[in-house]
Amino acid sequence: MSDSTLRRYPSTQLYIDGAWRAGSRDTAVVNPATEAEIGRLALAGEQQLAEAAEAAGRGFAAWRKVSAFDRSKLMRR
């Protein structure tokens, strides 16, 4: 099977605070059998990591007020 018939790895983005964003840089995803690049993986920079941590803190503040029973119902949906 040639590389052209293999399914390529989709290029990725970062999901931060409810939105998809490009990374500050990216790196290749390589097929180890052929060493061909099959996609790109987004990498976060310091600013993006800080924004993600801030968003996670806001999310946790709201989520911790929801009962375990209600959280389980939401997660099962």
| Total domains, the chain | 1
pLDDT value, residue 10:
81
Q: What is the pTM of this model?
A: 0.70
Q: What does the pLDDT profile of the chain (77 residues) look like in tens digits?
A: 454 545 577 889 999 999 999 999 999 999 999 999 998 999 999 999 999 999 999 999 999 999 999 999 999 99
Query: Which 3 state secondary structure label does DSSP give 14?
Result: strand
pLDDT value, residue 1:
47
Distance (Å, rounded) from C-alpha 42 to C-alpha 14?
7
pLDDT value, residue 7:
58
Tokens in use for 30?
A: 């390589």
- For residues 24 and 45, the answer to whether their CB atoms sit within 8 Å is yes
pLDDT value, residue 5:
43
The alpha carbon of residue 67 and the mean position of all alpha carbons in its chain are separated, in whole angstroms, by: 27
What is the domain range of residue 18?
A: 3-76
